[in-house]
């Protein structure tokens, strides 16, 4: 297959591109500079510009582009960057798809379980209502623009990612140094739910979203074993063989990261379930946290 990936330089994009190439697919990377080879397509999503002719013949487009939500305090400027980076990238791709003589079979567009907001112990499926806050606002706009592809007849999958675990990047990579020093601990009271997935399973889910014509609509890309932050802390401490008993008070998180980022992304509780993946018969390689961490942190041969 010929597959274009926006956000191919990110944690998930790199792993997906490698997995697709390994199985023999031709992968095109969208880059925000002049293309430097036959496998790159230049685009400027902020300006709504893309070399659409280079997308000709693509069987699938995967959009993983978006500013890191945990990259800094949610100032007004940062909120605007987070919002616009997702909307601009998605709308640019959907317009390009609409202009194609032969459209791709599928658009797989990233989203997040942030769609559901802070929901305490509530079990959340793809049928659950949207929550309240900045992250639900962002994900709603993100998904609404992606569904423009559905309205012109292109199968559209909305991949609502949880916390993607990998040693080489993302949230886990930031947590590992303090935990390996024995300085880890729960955030706030630790009772907030974390919806997570191993990178390997996230990539497998995306591959199947590309391949399987019956998959469409929102899909929680999370493992079936959601855990509280306190349980995650204990499991990570055990995985690195260090105590993890130093809690970080909520007020300290708010001082360090600002109230918006702290309350929604770090202290917010989202207990998402992979109902759509389960119904489609998806098999997780790492369904439980302890086993997933052991595999992720195993010494490389």
**According to the model, what pLDDT value does residue 279 have?**
95
Full domain range(s) for residue 112: 2-296
Among the listed residues 178, 265, 196, the one whose alpha carbon sits nearest the alpha carbon of residue 232: 196
* Cβ atoms of residues 136 and 272 within 8 Å: no
| Alpha carbons 59 and 111: distance in angstroms, whole number | 21
> Please, are residues 92 and 48 in contact by the beta-carbon 8 Å criterion?
yes
Phi-psi region of 12 (alpha: psi -120 to 50; beta: other; left: phi over 0): alpha
Nearest by Cα to 247 from 189, 206, 182, 298: 189
Candidates 113, 115, 136; CA nearest to 223 is 113
Note the pLDDT of residue 35.
86
| Start-end of H helices in the chain | 11-22, 76-98, 134-151, 170-180, 199-211, 229-240, 250-257, 259-261, 275-279, 289-296
The structure's pTM equals 0.96
Structural domain includes residue 46? yes
Q: Within a domain: residue 258? A: yes
Q: What percent of the chain has pLDDT over 90?
A: 95
Task: Note the pLDDT of residue 63.
Answer: 98
Provide the pLDDT for residue 36.
85
For residues 277 and 219, give the distance between their C-alpha atoms in angstroms, rounded to a whole number.
7
* Domain contains 194: yes
Q: 218 and 160 in contact (C-beta within 8 Å)? A: yes
- Counting as low any pLDDT under 70, the low residues of the chain are 300-301
pLDDT of amino acid 103 = 97
Look at residue 190 and tell me if it is in a domain: yes
Q: Is residue 301 part of a domain?
A: no
Domain tally for the chain? Answer: 1
* Whole-number pLDDT of residue 301: 57
CATH number at residue 167: 3.40.50.720
Residue 211 belongs to some domain of the structure: yes
173-202 pLDDT tens trace: 999 999 999 999 999 999 999 999 999 999
């Amino acid at each position: 297959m010929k597959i274009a990936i926006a956000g191919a330089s990110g944690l998930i994009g790199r792993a997906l591109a490698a997995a697709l190439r390994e199985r023999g697919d031709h992968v095109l990377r969208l880059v925000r500079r002049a293309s430097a080879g036959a496998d790159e397509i230049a685009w400027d999503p902020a300006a709504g510009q893309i070399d659409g002719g280079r997308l000709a013949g693509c069987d699938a487009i995967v959009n993983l582009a978006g500013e890191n939500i945990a990259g800094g305090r949610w100032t007004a400027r940062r909120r605007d960057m987070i919002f616009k980076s997702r909307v601009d990238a998605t709308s640019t791709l959907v317009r390009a798809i609409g202009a194609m003589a032969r459209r791709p079979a599928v658009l797989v567009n990233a989203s997040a379980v942030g769609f559901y907001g802070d929901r305490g112990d509530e079990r959340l499926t793809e049928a659950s209502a949207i929550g309240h806050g900045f992250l639900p606002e962002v994900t709603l706009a993100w998904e609404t623009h992606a569904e423009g592809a559905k309205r012109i007849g292109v199968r559209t999958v909305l991949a609502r990612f949880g916390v993607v675990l990998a040693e080489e990047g993302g949230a886990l990579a930031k947590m590992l140094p303090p935990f390996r020093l024995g300085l880890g601990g729960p955030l706030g009271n630790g009772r907030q739910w974390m919806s997570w997935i191993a990178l390997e399973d996230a990539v497998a889910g995306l591959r199947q979203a590309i391949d399987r014509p019956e998959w469409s609509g929102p899909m929680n890309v999370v493992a079936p074993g959601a855990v509280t932050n306190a349980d995650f802390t204990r499991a990570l401490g055990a995985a690195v063989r260090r105590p993890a008993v130093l809690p970080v008070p909520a007020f300290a998180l708010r001082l360090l990261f600002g109230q918006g980022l702290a309350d929604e992304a770090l202290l917010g509780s989202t207990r998402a379930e992979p109902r759509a993946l389960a119904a489609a018969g998806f098999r997780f390689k790492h369904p439980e946290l302890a086993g997933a961490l052991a595999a992720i942190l195993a010494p490389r041969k």
